Amino acid sequence: MNVLVIGSGAREHALCRSLSLDPAVTALHCAPGNAGIAEVAELHRVDPLDGAAVAALARELGSELVVVGPEAPLVAGVADAVRAAGIPAFGPSGEAAQLEGSKAFAKDVMAAAGVPTARSYVCTTDEEVAAALDAFGAPYVVKDDGLAAGKGVVVTGDLEAAEAHASACLGTSSSASGQGGRVVVEEYLDGPEVSLFAVTDGETVLPLQPAQDFKRALDGDEGPNTGGMGAYSPLPWADPELVEEVLRTVLQPTVDELRRRGTPFSGLLYAGLAITGRGVRVIEFNARFGDPETQVVLARLRTPLAALLSAAATGRLAELEPLRWSEDAAVTVVVASHNYPGTPRTGDPITGLDEVAAQDAPHAYVLHAGTRRDGEAVVSAGGRVLSVTATGKDLAEARDRAYAAVSRIGLDGSQHRTDIAAKAAAQA
């Protein structure tokens, strides 16, 4: 199978790594890719938001499957353009991707489908925001309605900070609905958070193994929200029936409701969940593989990835055998650049990558996110620079291996959390 992956982050590197290990994949391409992806796939220059250009590249390469990684191209309808060219695409339509592109749209779908989620208000003025914040009280949860690269959510006990974030969101036009700035103010959901991915062809829904990620920049869940500073899987503390419960009450009803509306969702449906004292509640939906959870979930998947994604893209998921998983645990630690999640410093040389490959493989490896080639050197090119991923017989061993690999990497001014999976490893 000839596969083209669209994107340039660690999620896409994880996808390309798994696809490169699949014997059914005879040619692997990525656009635009990064310095690490170049080691397993042929890179191509294309604007990932330009559906016509992506479809033309897929035709030129003879691609039999196009995997659209990031959310912005999906919301822009890139998967639609690829399918219109007669090429199977893994990823929802632009309309269905509004499940991530507009939090207000997602709330409407959940209400219609009877999916349990936080109570909320959609606000378009500062006055509406003030009333909603007063209604729910602290901690305050304010979400930009549109795409915000994982950083559009503020959870705070500071009323002024919540109001300031809402005002900033209302001053933009990031909403996928095109209706201008909107914010969603929600009640705070207590309890641990879980990320659960599901592959779907619009009817059949196959849940993957759950993971937990760490959104805050600093140890102890302190500091600002980020795109994610690490993740682990499995979750030894989670109810064994959790996946089936979420499939029954969240994933299948959502897919059924979107199909009923005439906007069937095929691709990867990501449910961000809170396990509250009142039961499972949906925090948010994403329309693509999450980063950094993808890194640990794919590290444990034993079913060939190409067959899974192709079956979803062509409406054949019901024919697939049950998914197979490794018993090993996986941990990912994100190495971020100086000043992340603010304006990151870029262009810093990265050292130690060869040492990790020589001393830690195959149990630990580096997935590139914000990197590029500068002559013979690999340098930083974004906020989250690397995802160091490791597997082990349990979380403690996987965690030790991940941090051992992190210690070999040199990046001036870099930062990483030191407590990824620490609590879960101690409880296991």
Angle at CA 368, nearest 5°, toward 364 and 373? 125
Q: Mean of the per-residue pLDDT values for the chain?
A: 94
Tens of pLDDT, residue by residue over 290-346, are: 999 999 999 999 999 999 999 999 999 999 999 999 999 999 999 999 999 999 999
**Sequence letter at residue 129:** V
Domain residues of the chain, as ranges? 2-91, 119-186, 193-319, 329-427
pLDDT band per the 50, 70, 90 thresholds, residue 142 = very high
Q: Please compute the mean of the pLDDT values over residues 86-90 and round it to a whole number.
A: 98
- The CATH architecture to which 329-427 belongs is Alpha-Beta Complex (3.90)
> Could you please report the per-residue DSSP string of 161-177?
HHHHHHHHHHTS---TT
Q: Which residue has the higher pLDDT, 143 or 394?
A: 394
Q: Measured on CA atoms in the order 362, 291, 58, 46, is the torsion positive or negative?
A: negative
Tokens of 147: 């795409």
Homologous superfamily (CATH) of 119-186 is: ATP-grasp fold, A domain (3.30.1490.20)
Task: Cis check for the bond before 48: say yes or no (omega within 30 of 0).
Answer: no
CATH topology of domain 2-91: Rossmann fold (3.40.50)
The hierarchical CATH code for the domain 193-319 is 3.30.470.20
**What is the model's pLDDT at position 172?**
52
Short-list 140, 244, 231, CA closest to 194: 231
**What is the model's pLDDT at position 175?**
41
